[in-house]
Structure 1
Amino acid sequence: KELRKSWARWSACFQGQPINEVSYFGEKIALYYLWLGWYTFLLIPAAILGIIVFLYGLAFINTSPLTMEVCTADTIMCPLCDGKCRVWNLSDTCAYAKVNILFDNEGTVAFAMFMAVWATVFLEFWKRCRAKYVCQWKVYDWSEDEEELILEIVNDPDCKPKKYSHSYLKSTLVLILVTLMVVLIIGLTHALVVFRVVATFLLSGSKWSLLNENASLVAVMLGAVVHYFTLNIMTRVNRKVALKLCEIGTFNGKEAHFTVKMFTFQFFTLFSSLIYVAFFLGRINGRPGDYVRIAGKWRLEECHPSGCLTDLFIQMSIIMVLKQTLNNIFEKTTQKLQRKCGHCYKKECKDTEEGAELCENCKLQNWLRNYHLTDVNAFSLFEEFLEMVIQFSFTTIFVAAFPLAPFLALVNNIFEIRLDAIKMVSLERRLVPKKTNNIGVWTNVLEAIGVLAVIANGLVIGISSDFIPRLVYLYRYGPCANGTVTGISCMTGYINNTLSTVRVNDEGVKNDFSANHYKDYRDDEDYSLTSQFWLILAVRFAFVILFEHVVVICKFIVAWFVPDCPIQVKNYRLADKLKRLKEELR
């Protein structure tokens, strides 16, 4: 009743959580909500900075020389697909170029570095917060192995402990099966790529001009929606496979092994498509006259001349918004149905003679009412953790392409905490309270995500975005490169510099123009890669190496600078140990 008043209600959305009271459900549940609350709190500075980066791009959306060059261009571009696709004017994609500048600007680089370090700051301060509470709950030195042995001794004083075991044969078998499952998931990603390619081809022949002109964009959005539904299906498949793999092995600590396997499958299910869009889209499609084709028929997708980052942003925004919004709607709808059924049961109980008799015994009535609540199992808390850790992955790994991800995560979590609290207090049976002093293997998973965030954001900025090509143009090929030109923007002519020309006769396209353009750094005569391409490639790799080393050093400094355990907790534990030792020595 106290938790319902102070915690499990919508009016408490912007209030702190009574974590000590939540420990009524057991330390394991309390630590989850403590972690979720701390994660949500630290999302506030990340969300504010992400909005600032977004507004920075919005401020220059109409005045940027890059968007102005696209919007005023009279450049004729090569068809984006086969079939009924025709040549198009670069200025037709003015709106697309403006969207791209929102997420591919100088502020994105600083924000990506901030988020990579932020992940470490979050983990280090979480460890301090955890230490404070587990010390209060007297479980700092708690050991799961000791507790299991105590329970066995209570049940049978002559019991023999279960011995640890390990089988290299079974471990190898599990490793092979996990690899095969990951290969299957990556194969589904390839199927999504084929889906987008075929969808682009079919949409380009549509009777509606709107679909015809935006076939590539619509195909990317459809691919993201299909990816979302594929994710929901694969989530169930992944769980069953992970459980079967844990049954094969003779491992101790099966919960940790299940967590690692399930997260690995979910990670590849979620991010395989994003990895393709970020690092392969538009880079393996060939050139006019020599395109790479699927089954020798359909051309692979191309990046927009304004940059490839917008495609990644579209994928992330659709998946993240759909995943969070639909999940919350489903939970809210389920809550209403459960409450309605609960009221029906209560009314039915009172209308019967048995119900009238039971109402005199409130304790028995509560037992019966609780029995009709939603059943819970070992996966209840695991699924909540998995959902939030996947969100943490979205918030950090590809945040360079989507600065608004922390803001969306913050808004979602504010409501998520109350949804989960109401569900736990009023709609579900009480979980069996369990002791623990940490969040288990999830800490290692979060640390791994922090490392992946550094690698992924460095690669996104260095390879996917046009940040490096713009820098090379600014200091090597632009009008300001020699330091003598004034009065014009130093980025004037950048878009035209990124385009190569193909002779129409070589391309085989019949139209009234003498030549068309496509995005690449190739010679107009023999289509060989130019020296500018190799210079940009070298600078890209140099930037990735420099970015990752600088951010990793910053992460290590933060991890060293912030102690995992507060001094007050250390002193308290020292005094407690001294007191206990004195009593034992007496």
Structure 2
Amino acid sequence: LGVSEYLPDLMKKNVFETHFCLHEKREQKELKQSWARWSACFRGQPITNVRNYLGENVALYFLWLGWYTFLLIPASVIGLVVFLYGLAFYSTSPLMLNIVICADTVCFGSHVQVSLLFDNEGTVAFAMFMAVWATVFLEFWKCHRSSYVSAWKVFDWCEEEEELILEIVNNAHCEPKMHRHSYLRSTIVLLLVIIGLTHVLVVSRVIATVLLAENSTWQVITENSQTVAVMLGAVLHYITITVMTRVKAHKPPTNKHSHAAVERSFTVKMFIFQFFTMFSSLIYTAFFLGRINGHPGGYVRISGKWRLEECHPSGCLTDLFIQMSIIMVLKQTFNNIFEYSDLHRNYSLIKTDRFSLFNEFLEMVIQFSFTTIFVAAFPLAPLLALLNNIIEIRLDAIKMVSLERRLVPMKANDIGVWTDVLEAIGVLAVIANGLVIGISSDFIPRLVYQYFYGPCASGSATGIDCMVGYINNTLSQMVTYSGINVTHCSYRDYRSNEDFSLTNQYWVILAARLVFIILFEHVVVIFKCVASWFVPTSPLDVTNERLYDKLRRLKEELRSVTRAYTL
């Protein structure tokens, strides 16, 4: 008497040591044979059996993951075609010129050629396709989901209402629990994380570039110190991501608010935190790298010593490509290795709770972000995601059936707040890819040169490649005098050779960039709206079946009321 009957409180007082749901051997064995094994990688998933054993909540996760993986197939094929398109024209490009870059002697033209693998006309079309693909995927997912939740008779089920009914049953005089949230505190924490991580990664890359250039015993590293520093920075960023994702967030007690409200709040906060942890350095590389470092005669330096890093000689898109490829490959490879552990039974199995599924969703939604946001810089991202997910589905299945304690089956009719998160990512994909192509890519400067400054600008040139002379056109000259010696070097910018002022061509290109961004985003948004309008939220047969069920239920209720009134 007098002891709290709330189980977590009893566990804190050591009345009980733990609690969990036991695996049922027969059902567990059936799922192992048909689903949770590596030989079933290319089979369909027995979603209804998963629902019967692990509940709708888990079944909807695997249904979503399977649908996402299936729709990655066309995205992967088109991304691979775009990459091969760049590879096909790799050796025929006129963008090849040996020059002396200020502070470094490199073969600049060969670097420009490398960037054409992922910075070409096909990239623009692919970025538009992926932005629309994100909407089509989500709309078809809603349609696909509705068929299953209708068959499971949970279409109109509401978790919050069910929890409120239980509260009223336990306490007829219960009061609603008010929600509170400090937007100021959350914003301050988020800004500190973004600014702090970005500064650490930027400073480490700047210092690494200088040290590698001055102290490396290998000439190849000295000559490519900037590229090596970018790769080391990407590895450091991955390590930072791994450490931050291993930090266990404080999970709020669910006895103060409804489970649904707690999960929504926790999901949104943790996703935003993890999203900016992973994308802070990529955002800096895409939109700030090489634009705040100054110019010859006026470089910006850290502590007056280390000069801020510049973009790769072929452009900032190359830096973004290197970072995304390294982070995505490392993240997917090591995540799958860490997830797979030895088999245990019941009490010794990995502990689970209602937040266990959150980690699985978070991993996949972050991957979805990599696949859609900045895909203009990394067209192979969908292919890597597809290969990973083929393994991920079985890995998660094996883990939930064999390696973890059985999750308590829970009702659900959707993936919850993750739908809103995915829609937000779809909008960000449009904005980010438009900005990447418009700002970071050389696509717009090449178009401007081709039609306004190149040999084809007059319209009378024949038998000549319109991009001849493009490299020289993008460079500004700097002349330094040391006694009787005169040194000429070049740097990427549109500045006057006399006073470093910006040229008219710079402003023409800037105007073209802004026009492209506006057009790109408006055209893609129109396509997204059309795609969203054309795809129904529910199949017609599901809609008609639900209408029939509602009509039958209302008739039964009306008959019950009429019978009671008659009596």
- TM-score, length-normalised on structure 1? 0.87
Task: Report what 2:480 is aligned to.
Answer: 504
**Is 2:237 the partner of 1:222?**
no
In structure 2, what is the equivalent of residue 88 of structure 1?
Answer: 105
Q: The residue matched to 1:528 in structure 2 has which SS?
A: coil
**2:57 equivalent to 1:47:** no
Counterpart position of 1:204? 213
Q: Which residue of 2 aligns with 1:353?
A: none
Q: Which residue of 1 aligns with 2:279?
A: 271
1:426 to 2:455 alignment: no
Q: Distance in 1 between the 2:484 and 2:102 partners?
A: 11
Structure 1's 226 and 104: CA in aligned 2 closer, same or farther, altered over 3 A? same
Pick closer, same or farther for the CA change 1:431–1:511 going to 2, 3 Å: farther
TM-aligned CA distance change 1:249 to 1:529, over 3 Å? farther
Q: Does 1:292 align with 2:316?
A: no
Distance 1:328 1:236 in 2: 15
**SS in structure 2 at match of 1:522:** coil
Where 2:249 maps in the other structure, the secondary structure is: helix
**Aligned residue identity for 2:393:** I
Closer, same or farther: CA 34–249 of 1 in aligned 2, 3 Å: closer
Q: Distance in 1 between matches of 2:486 and 2:120?
A: 34
Partner of 2:44: 16
Q: Is the 8 A contact 1:182 1:265 kept in 2?
A: no
SS of alignment partner, residue 504 of structure 1:
strand
Q: 131, 134, 151: which is aligned to 2:166? A: 151
Instruction: Write the mapping of 1:55-94 to structure 2, written as runs, cut at 5 A.
Output: 55-66=84-95, 69-70=96-97, 73=98, 75-79=99-103, 87-91=104-108, 94=110
Q: Counterpart of 2:5? A: none
* Gap change, CA 1:255 and 1:460, over 3 Å in 2: same
Judged with a 3 Å threshold, the aligned counterparts in structure 2 of structure 1 residues 312 and 249 are, in CA distance, closer, same or farther, namely farther
1:391 maps to what in 2? 367
Partner Cα separation in structure 1 for residue 436 and residue 132 of structure 2:
16
1:160 counterpart letter in structure 2: H
Taking every aligned residue pair, what percent have the same amino acid on both sides?
67
SS of the residue corresponding to residue 319 of structure 1 reads helix
Match for residue 455 of structure 2?
479
Q: How far does the alpha carbon of each residue in 1:473-497 deviate from its partner, in whole angstroms, 9 at most, with x for none?
A: 0000000000111111000000110
Partners of 1:186 and 1:268 within 8 A in 2: no
Where structure 2 has 5 or more consecutive residues not aligned to the other structure, the ranges are: 1-28, 560-567
* 1:580 equivalent in structure 2: 553
Q: Residue type of the partner of 1:297? A: K
For 1:245 and 1:116, locate their aligned partners in 2 and report how far apart those are by CA, in whole Å: 38
* 1:306 maps to 2:282: no
Deviations 1:441-489 (A, max 9, x none): 0000000000000000000000000000000000000000001111110
- Please state how far the C-alpha of 1:251 moved relative to its aligned partner: 11
Residues 361-402 of structure 1: per-residue CA shift (max 9 Å, x gap):
xxxxxxxx4223222122310000000000000000010000
Deviations 1:21-47 (A, max 9, x none): 110200000000000000000000000
Taking the TM superposition and a 5 Å limit, the aligned residue runs for 1:173-572 are: 174-205=183-214, 206-237=216-247, 239-240=248-249, 243=251, 253-332=261-340, 334=341, 338-339=342-343, 342=344, 369-505=345-481, 514-572=487-545
Distance in 2 (CA, whole Å) between partners of 1:568 and 1:375 is 41
Aligned residue pair count: 529
Displacement, 1:284? 1.2
Give the CA deviation at 1:245. 11
Match of 1:360 in 2: none
Check whether the contact 1:220–1:315 (CA below 8 A) recurs between aligned residues.
yes
Give the letter aligned to residue 197 of structure 2. Answer: L
Rounded to whole Å, the distance in 2 between the matches of 1:493 and 1:246 is 66
User: Residue 166 of structure 1 contacts residue 250 of structure 1 at CA under 8 Å; is this kept in 2?
Assistant: no
Q: Does the 8 A contact of 1:371 with 1:429 survive in 2?
A: yes
1:365 is matched with none
Distance 2:141 2:484 in 1: 63
Q: In angstroms, what is the RMSD of aligned CA positions?
A: 2.1
Letter matched to residue 517 of structure 1 = S
What residue is the counterpart of 2:173 in the other structure?
160
Cα deviation for residue 200 of structure 1 reads 0.5
CA distance in 2, matches of 1:301, 1:49: 34
Which has the larger share of helix?
1
* Deviation at residue 146 of structure 1 after TM alignment: 2.8
Tell me, in whole angstroms, the C-alpha distance in 2 between the residues paired with 1:188 and 1:426: 38
SS of equivalent residue, structure 2 residue 82: helix
CA distance in 2 between counterparts of 1:177 and 1:113 reads 33
Cα distance, 1:303 vs structure 2: 1.6
One of 88, 94, 98 as aligned partner of 2:113: 98
**Deviation of the 1:403 alpha carbon:** 0.1
Q: What TM-score do you get using the length of structure 2 for normalisation?
A: 0.90
Does the aligned pair in 2 maintain the 1:100–1:309 contact within 8 Å? yes
Counterpart CA distance in 1 for 2:79 and 2:524 is 18
Q: State whether structure 2 residue 125 is matched by structure 1 residue 110.
A: yes
Deviations 1:543-575 (A, max 9, x none): 001100110111111111111111111100111
Compute the displacement of 1:161 (Å).
Answer: 3.6
Distance in structure 1 (CA, Å) of the matches to 2:254 and 2:249: 10
Query: For residues 391 and 304 of structure 1, do their structure 2 counterparts lie closer, same or farther at Cα, with a shift above 3 Å needed?
Result: same
Query: Would the alpha carbon gap of residues 142 and 207 (structure 1) be closer, same or farther in structure 2, given more than 3 Å must change?
Result: same
Partner SS state of residue 287, structure 1 = coil
Q: Is the 8 A contact 1:500 1:522 kept in 2?
A: yes
Offset, 1:3: 1.1
Structure 1 residue ranges without an equivalent (≥5):
80-86, 343-368
Following superposition, the deviation at residue 9 of structure 1 comes to 1.1
